[in-house]
């Protein structure tokens, strides 16, 4: 049995846009990095946000996401399958696994055909489990039989507690404001972070996506990077709020299950209604606003979604 697994990374890519920040600084303060931002909001008022994050955590977080490595995945799967074969080979059945340029071959000898068939089925299960383990370890998820993408919902949940220092500052700074005002504030913050497709390995990780730590420290990101950061921040601030990642061709944004205003664009997704929020920028848009290109795709039903777990 020859098995070949190759995946094509499918990323959300947005058109490059310009930045509208007033100020950004990153300074080391003891074992922390002090990040400070200033920007003009949709009402042309200057807003600020400053917080400390542990520098060791930030450095690890900004480097943990990498371009999907097909060769590394094949090595991982091969090791798992070969380990199973060696553990289940004996006098009555020999399972031999050999590397090939496209994957691996399995040869089975010394047993009845039904026993060989049973072991081949088990090897297929081992292979599939190894693929899922590798993707989980590298923060990817399956799109279809041959495609993978960053596991946005999992990354958002993972970084919600990691962003606790940011959320604590936001809770103090925005005390008394309702959730809608908080979302609008965060939209202005993220929309004015400079846009970057994150494809250049010299200026970013080259993977087309960055974790929230990477976004904050590098002060640049694309649509799905900013959307995951928004989802993570909101998940920490509002643990019971339903949040989704929403996708149209070449773009990603967020849906939040907040009361729908009369001018809001919202989608009924599953058993909930989600008001859309686009943190990409640099156009400053409030909660419930979407641009004309995304609107055409949404109206044509060309969208999908993933709900961020609690």
Average pLDDT of the chain to the nearest whole number: 87
Judging by beta carbons within 10 Å of its beta carbon (0-12, 13-18, 19+), is residue 182 exposed, middle or buried?
buried
Q: Report, as an integer, the average pLDDT of 24-49.
A: 94
Counts of helices then strands in the chain (DSSP H, E): 9, 14
> Percentage of residues in the chain with pLDDT exceeding 70?
90
Of the chain, the end-to-end C-alpha distance in Å amounts to: 41
In terms of DSSP bridges, do strands 8-9 and 147-150 run parallel, antiparallel, or are they unpaired? parallel
CA atoms of 302 and 310, how far apart (whole Å): 26
Determine the 3-state secondary structure of 74 from DSSP. Answer: helix
Cβ atoms of 188 and 46 closer than 8 Å: no
Instruction: Identify the pLDDT of residue 205.
Output: 53
- Answer yes or no: is pLDDT of 290 > 90: yes
**Which letter, b or e, does each residue of 218-234 get, where b requires 16 or more Cβ atoms within 10 Å of its Cβ?**
bbbbbbbbbbbbbbbbb
- Answer yes or no: is pLDDT of 2 > 50: no
Instruction: Identify the pLDDT of residue 5.
Output: 40
Residues 125-152 have pLDDT tens digits of 999 999 999 999 999 998 876 688 899 9
Least confident of 6-15, 121-130, 176-185, 289-298: 6-15
Instruction: Identify the pLDDT of residue 145.
Output: 65
More reliable by pLDDT, 32 or 12: 32
Least confident of 9-23, 62-76, 128-142: 9-23
Token digits of residue 190: 């993220």
Q: Report, as an integer, the average pLDDT of 270-281.
A: 94
Instruction: Identify the pLDDT of residue 4.
Output: 33
CA atoms of 186 and 195, how far apart (whole Å): 16
Q: Which of 69-78, 90-99, 200-209, 240-249 has the highest mean pLDDT?
A: 240-249
Instruction: Identify the pLDDT of residue 265.
Output: 96
pTM of the model: 0.86
- Answer yes or no: is pLDDT of 16 > 60: no
Determine the 3-state secondary structure of 300 from DSSP. Answer: coil
Where do the domains of the chain lie, and which CATH numbers do they carry? 15-64+152-308 (3.10.620), 69-137 (no CATH)
Give rounded-to-5 percent helix, strand, coil for the chain. 35, 25, 35
CA atoms of 256 and 287, how far apart (whole Å): 9
């Amino acid at each position: 049995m020859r098995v070949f697994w190759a995946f094509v990374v499918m990323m959300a890519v947005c058109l490059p846009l310009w930045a509208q920040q007033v100020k950004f600084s990153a300074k080391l303060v003891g074992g922390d990095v002090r990040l400070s931002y200033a920007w003009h909001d949709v009402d042309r008022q200057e807003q600020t946000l400053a917080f400390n994050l542990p520098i060791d955590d930030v450095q690890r977080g900004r480097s943990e996401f990498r371009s999907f490595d097909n060769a590394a995945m094949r090595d991982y799967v091969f090791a798992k399958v070969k380990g199973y074969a060696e553990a289940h080979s004996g006098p009555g059945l020999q399972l031999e696994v050999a590397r090939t340029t496209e994957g691996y071959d399995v040869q089975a000898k010394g047993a009845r055909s039904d026993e060989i068939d049973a072991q081949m089925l088990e090897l297929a299960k081992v292979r599939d489990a190894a693929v899922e383990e590798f993707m989980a370890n590298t923060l990817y998820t399956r799109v279809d039989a041959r495609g993978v993408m960053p596991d946005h919902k999992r990354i958002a949940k993972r970084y919600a507690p990691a962003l606790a220092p940011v959320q604590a500052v936001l809770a103090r700074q925005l005390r008394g404001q309702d959730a809608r005002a908080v979302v609008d504030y965060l939209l202005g913050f993220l929309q004015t972070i400079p846009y970057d497709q994150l494809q250049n390995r010299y200026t970013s990780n080259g993977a087309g996506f960055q974790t929230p730590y990477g976004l904050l420290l590098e002060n640049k990101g694309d649509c799905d990077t900013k959307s995951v950061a928004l989802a993570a921040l909101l998940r920490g601030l509002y643990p019971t709020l339903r949040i989704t990642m929403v996708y149209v061709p070449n773009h990603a944004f967020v849906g939040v299950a907040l009361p729908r205003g009369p001018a809001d664009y919202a989608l009924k997704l599953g058993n909930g209604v989600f008001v859309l929020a686009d943190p990409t920028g640099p156009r400053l848009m409030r909660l419930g606003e979407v641009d004309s290109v995304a609107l055409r795709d949404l109206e044509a039903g060309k969208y999908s979604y993933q709900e961020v777990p609690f």
